[in-house]
Amino acid sequence: MRIVFYILVTGVSAVVTFGLAVVIWKLSTKYRLYPQIRDRDVHTRPTPRLGGVAMFLGMLVAFAVASQLDSFRIVFTEPGKVLGILGAASIIVLIGVADDIWDLDWVTKLAGQFVAAGLLAWQGVQIFTLPIGGQTIVSPYVSLTLTVFAVVLVMNAINFIDGLDGLVAGVALIANSVFFVYTYVLQSSAQTEYFNLASLLTAVLIGACIGFLPLNFHPAKLFMGDAGALLVGLLMAASAISVTGQIDPSIAAQPDSFTASLLPAFIPIVLPFAVLVIPLLDFGLAVVRRLRAGKSPFSADRKHLHHRLLDMGHSHLHAVLIFYAWTLVVSVGCLAYRFVPWYAATLFIVVGLIICTFVTLTPLSKRKALEARSQSAGASDGVADARYDGLDAAADEEILTTAASHHEPREPHA
């Protein structure tokens, strides 16, 4: 029962993260360790942003516990990968904390992200293959470059949606839970180290999100800040690469292999994008929007998807739940192709997307109804006012005529 050990690691990560988050929240509140509210912020009162530190320390403790368990021994037989992940996470957290305190410029933050992603790739967590016909990336430079840009992309995509209470933690919790099921099934079937590493990463991240959410859910007492959002993105990218980018093409090419009989061949590359569909969509729209305006793609604004949901009329909580729903439908729907017939999985996705679209656009229909009602009421008032003004004019004319018949006109003053 390997699942018991994963539950143990998840529990350790959750408990440590929650306990440290409470401590950080109290210390930050006592010593006022929080920045001023910015124009693009949704919250209305200063809130500490160092929650990512608690998530990072919870992750470290969980990895330390896992290293002492025999079930995870295969992960630590290649310590370079683990050290690369922990080293990259340390760099990201330091950069994030510095930004949360001193508000670094985007060039410095991006440089730190490339250094962290480069360290991750240098230590062996790379995209060596693509599960599309078992294609192998021959050049090590191409492999390293593709890995670095993929990791930086995911980190920024996650960071871009970090604008509402509980949004990143909840989306990451849903997405990583789905991805854990996928990696656990692969690990159980293939018995390879890659899938064990991915499962451990997702289990640790799930625990960190569970432990952090109680203080981050609306109304939030503590934010994860750039340190937490970038850390979540780094770990999600590392777990996806550990599976998608390291499947042996010789195994995948065999018709009787586990990849042919266990799941459709496209799931290894589709599922990582499915669990990141909302962050990647928001990131892509933001980059296009800012480049068209002649700005840096990393310049801040108030036009992200979560801002648009609020502008449409959704409440803070409703907007967050809508993001949860979209993530759940797309990620679970893609994973469902592994467990149920294709038509059942497709039906789930189609129905789910229709419901999500209806709920997302409901405020617009209500707004149009209110505007139509307001215009109708305004038109009625206008007609009534016109009639009233007409009656007043007739009455005034009658009064003036009567007065003229009873009084002599006065001579004008010289």
**Residue 381 pLDDT:** 57
When pLDDT is cut at 50, 70 and 90, the band that residue 370 belongs to is low
Specify if 309 maps to a domain: no
Number of domains in the chain: 1
Q: CA 89 → CA 126, 166, 197, 201, 355, distances in Å?
A: 16, 21, 15, 12, 37
Specify if 82 maps to a domain: yes
Specify if 374 maps to a domain: no
Specify if 106 maps to a domain: yes
Tokens 């200063």 belong to: 46
Q: Are 199 and 180 in contact (CB under 8 A)?
A: yes
Q: CA 104 → CA 37, 98, 194, 281, distances in Å?
A: 16, 7, 36, 25
- pLDDT cut 90: percent of the chain above it: 44
Nearby residues of 131 by Cβ (< 8 Å), 6 or more positions away: 244, 247, 252, 259, 265, 266, 268, 269
Tokens 């809130």 belong to: 47
The per-residue pLDDT for range 283-332, each reduced to its tens digit, is: 888 889 888 888 888 777 778 888 888 888 898 899 999 999 999 999 99
For residues 68 and 246, what is the distance between their CA atoms, to the nearest angstrom? Answer: 25
Tokens 């998530």 belong to: 55
Q: Where in the sequence is the domain holding 258, given as residue range(s)?
A: 2-281
pTM to 2 decimal places: 0.81
Is residue 363 reached through a cis peptide bond, with omega within 30 degrees of 0 on the bond before it? no
For residues 273 and 64, what is the distance between their CA atoms, to the nearest angstrom? Answer: 30
SS3 135: strand
Name the residue type at position 101.
I
When pLDDT is cut at 50, 70 and 90, the band that residue 403 belongs to is very low
Q: What does the block give as tokens for 408?
A: 């002599």
The per-residue pLDDT for range 26-68, each reduced to its tens digit, is: 999 888 877 666 555 555 577 888 999 999 999 999 999 999 9
Specify if 348 maps to a domain: no
Specify if 398 maps to a domain: no
Q: Are 141 and 135 in contact (CB under 8 A)?
A: no
Specify if 132 maps to a domain: yes
Specify if 104 maps to a domain: yes
Q: Are 154 and 129 in contact (CB under 8 A)?
A: no
SS3 85: helix
SS3 58: helix
Residue range 255-266: mean pLDDT, rounded: 43
Strands (E), 252-371: none
With a cut of 80, say whether residue 260 has pLDDT above it. no
When pLDDT is cut at 50, 70 and 90, the band that residue 412 belongs to is very low
The per-residue pLDDT for range 126-177, each reduced to its tens digit, is: 888 766 555 666 688 888 999 999 999 999 999 988 888 999 999 999 999 9
